[in-house]
Chain A
């Protein structure tokens, strides 16, 4: 006797209706590989590229936020639609609520600043450091960007080295290049 898809879906629906899903999980295909998406009731909280192990990502979020995590893709429908349009080149600015719970105070400042870099342009680590009021803290800025829990939607790929060298990327440089090329296409 096995639990079939219909039973699982009914369970998810009822758990959502009763407000028992603290973190909803979905996956989607994209030109930069399968993306793992997670949202709390407050908003999008995590995006992971497929070089990260799914079980580890879920386990980490369970420890840091809540273990009431379930595959509940409906909650991420709007995010998925916007990402699809972004990857197709028809969406420039994301309009989804974000949950910054996985980010500390300084990193949050850095990432909010990063979110204001317009589509198709880039800023340097030093620019962002100045933007958050710590002109000499560009290394800390680099760390904050490297730990961005919501890549792509929070566009840390738009931060490069002074002088134009590409810098680093948590998702690997090929993905950073691909995203920058898409935006300047």
Chain B
């Protein structure tokens, strides 16, 4: 006997697909979010029947999405950049347009954390670049990203 009956995956998709896509847009930017979204949902569907606990399906999906986003970051880091890097300031503005879900929470972060998280994940900046853009040290930039993600993770639970 299964401890918790798993709902049809169709319901899981209907209820959480938007949150997954929004999270991925915030993590890796709009252009790669869809591919990552597809990979996330396919991995989830493949693993679904073996999932023991259906009590936090959104958290489970976002964990898979986070791993896919990291994979995408790494793949991108290995590719030569086809275009000039955008101005960090412009990236912040472009990615903080009204959006639901995750970006609301990103906007709610303290300013230093918010800026660092956006530069890191929406702008795909390295820590030296973030430090330069924020006129601070690399360690401090790293710390701000870390704190920001920790806060988001808590809120997304």
Residues of A within 8 A of B37 (CB): 3, 7
B100 part of interface (Cβ distance < 8 Å): yes
- Contact-residue bracket for chain A: 20 to 34
B41 part of interface (Cβ distance < 8 Å): yes
Residue among A3, A61, A67, A69 making CB contact with B18, cutoff 8 Å: A3
Query: Is the pair A71, B10 in contact by a Cβ cutoff of 8 Å?
Result: yes
Contact A1:B8 (CB < 8 A) given known A11-B38, A68-B49? no
A67 to B8, CA, bound (A): 5
A8 to B11, CA, bound (A): 13
Contact A1:B48 (CB < 8 A) given known A59-B8, A62-B7, A67-B8? no
Query: Is the pair B7, A59 in contact by a Cβ cutoff of 8 Å?
Result: yes
Contact A62:B38 (CB < 8 A) given known A3-B21, A67-B49, A68-B49? no
B99 part of interface (Cβ distance < 8 Å): yes
B25 part of interface (Cβ distance < 8 Å): yes
Residues of B within 8 A of A63 (CB): 5
Residue among A7, A66, A68, A71 making CB contact with B34, cutoff 8 Å: A7
Query: Is the pair A15, B42 in contact by a Cβ cutoff of 8 Å?
Result: yes
Contact A20:B46 (CB < 8 A) given known A10-B38, A11-B41? yes
A95 part of interface (Cβ distance < 8 Å): no
Contact A1:B25 (CB < 8 A) given known A7-B37, A18-B42, A68-B45? yes
Residue among B9, B21, B41, B100 making CB contact with A67, cutoff 8 Å: B9
Query: Is the pair B46, A25 in contact by a Cβ cutoff of 8 Å?
Result: no
Query: Is the pair A67, B48 in contact by a Cβ cutoff of 8 Å?
Result: yes
Interface of B is mostly: helix
Query: Is the pair A14, B9 in contact by a Cβ cutoff of 8 Å?
Result: no
A-B pairs with beta carbons under 8 A, tally: 70
A70 part of interface (Cβ distance < 8 Å): yes
- How far, in Å, is A75 (CB) from chain B's closest CB? 14
A90 part of interface (Cβ distance < 8 Å): no
* B23 nearest in chain A by CB position: A1
- How far, in Å, is A180 (CB) from chain B's closest CB? 34
A17 to B37, CA, bound (A): 17
B134 part of interface (Cβ distance < 8 Å): no
A121 part of interface (Cβ distance < 8 Å): no
Which residues of A82-122 are within 8 A (CB) of B? Answer: none
Residues of B within 8 A of A184 (CB): none
A62 to B99, CA, bound (A): 34
- How far, in Å, is A153 (CB) from chain B's closest CB? 22
* A21 nearest in chain B by CB position: B45
Contact A1:B22 (CB < 8 A) given known A68-B9, A69-B9? yes
Query: Is the pair B13, A62 in contact by a Cβ cutoff of 8 Å?
Result: no
A1 to B60, CA, bound (A): 20
Binary flags per residue of B16-33, CB closer than 8 Å to A gives 1, else 0 = 011001100100000001
A61 to B5, CA, bound (A): 11
